[in-house]
Amino acid sequence: MITIFGGFISDRFDRRRTLLFFFFLMAALSACLGIIGFHGSLTVWHVGIG
């Protein structure tokens, strides 16, 4: 299901900008997981969503 949505997004919008957007989104999620982990309140569902 996610691959169908990803294919639609990449066909609809500029591939380079889409790739940059998702790389920045991945970096933001990684930073959030790092901050939550640093504070010691990281749980399994945080990792599952991230």
Q: What is the per-residue pLDDT for 9?
A: 82
Q: DSSP letter for 13, please.
A: S
Q: How many domains in the chain?
A: 1
Average pLDDT over residues 24-33: 90
Q: What is the per-residue pLDDT for 13?
A: 87
Higher pLDDT, 9 or 27: 27
Average pLDDT over residues 14-35: 89
Q: What is the per-residue pLDDT for 1?
A: 58
pTM given for the model: 0.68
Contacts within 8 Å (CB) and 24+ apart, 27-30: none
> Cα(31)–Cα(18) distance, rounded to whole angstroms?
20
User: Which residues constitute the domain of residue 39?
Assistant: 2-49
Average pLDDT over residues 23-47: 85
Q: DSSP letter for 1, please.
A: -
